[in-house]
Amino acid sequence: MAEITTIARPYAKAAFDFAIEQNAVDSWVEMLNFAAMVSENDTIKPLLSGALSSDKLGELFIGVCGEQINVQVQNLLKVMAENGRLVTLPAVLQLFVEMKHEWAKEIEANVVSAIELTSVQQQDISVSLEKRLARKVKLNCSIDASLIAGVIITAGDLVIDGSVRGKLSRLSDSLQS
């Protein structure tokens, strides 16, 4: 996986820099998302491993994407096809989205709770995280009854385990040591 990320990074960086210049970051996310879905299609995926020449593969890929992508994304796909890198499109998309979040000072936080959180609780968590991380926070909330009570929040590298299950686990570990 690290190798694919290493290969995808220059393409994602170039695409992101161009998208910022053109003030079209959101449209690039949509177009790259579409191209990444095409690259993972069961019919297209086997062709990416070198069954076709790079020119024909680029033409075929761009033909399949059709009007969903603009000329600049077509050029990116042509370069990636010439270098045999179309298989890395999902990683390019992932890196591009990470760069977008970093640029926009946004972060997604996953909040897992034992019961459904009210909108006031979600707002409180969001405000606290925004202060702590100095970024806009988008919450993705889910429910896991096995937590007993409390929440587990993950945002990037930050993990806050305020669940009863986590506290019991830490207590058990300290009693055993």
Compute the distance between CA of residue 37 and CA of residue 22 in angstroms, rounded to an integer: 24
Please report the pLDDT score of residue 78 as a whole number. 84
Tokens of 106: 């946004």
> 52 falls in which pLDDT band (50, 70, 90)?
low
pLDDT confidence of residue 171: 87
In order of 62, 64, 118, the CA distances from 55 in angstroms are 11, 14, 54
User: 140 forms bridges with which residues in the sheet?
Assistant: 110
Q: Exposed (0-12), middle (13-18) or buried (19+): which is 6, by Cβ within 10 Å?
A: exposed
Structure tokens at 84: 């045999």
* Domain layout of the chain by residue ranges: 2-102, 106-176
pLDDT tens-digit readout, 85-139: 888 888 989 998 888 888 888 888 899 998 898 999 999 999 998 998 888 888 8
Enumerate residues 6+ apart whose C-beta is below 8 A from 4: 87, 88, 91
Check residue 127 and give its pLDDT. Answer: 92
Q: Which two tokens stand for residue 41?
A: 């299609």
Angle at 110 between CA 108 and CA 112, to 5 degrees: 165
The dihedral of CA 80, 85, 87, 90: what is its sign? negative
Answer yes or no: is pLDDT of 31 > 80. yes
In this prediction, what percent of the chain has a pLDDT beyond 70?
96
55-66 pLDDT, tens digit per residue, is 777 777 778 777
CATH 3.30.1650.10 is the classification of domain 2-102: no
Smallest CA-to-CA distance from 9 within 99, 108, 79 is with: 99
Q: What is the mean pLDDT of the chain?
A: 84
Question: Which amino acid is present at 114?
Answer: A
